[in-house]
Structure 1
Amino acid sequence: MNKKRKTGGTSAERSDVFEYDISDSETVVEAVLNAVSTFTDIPSSPPEASVSADGGRETLPPLHEVIEPDALTDLSASSRATANVRVTFHYVGCEVTVTDTNTVRVSE
Structure 2
Amino acid sequence: MDQHETTYGYTENKDALLKRLKRIEGQVRGVARMVEEDKYCIDILTQMSAINAALHKVSLGLVNDHIGHCVVNAAQAANESGDMTQLEEKIDEATAAIGRLLR
- The structure whose residues are more often helix, as a share, is 2
Higher relative contact order (CA 8 A, sep 6+): 2
Q: TM-score, normalised by structure 1?
A: 0.25
Q: Which structure has the bigger radius of gyration?
A: 2
- The structure whose residues are more often strand, as a share, is 1
Q: TM-score, normalised by structure 2?
A: 0.26
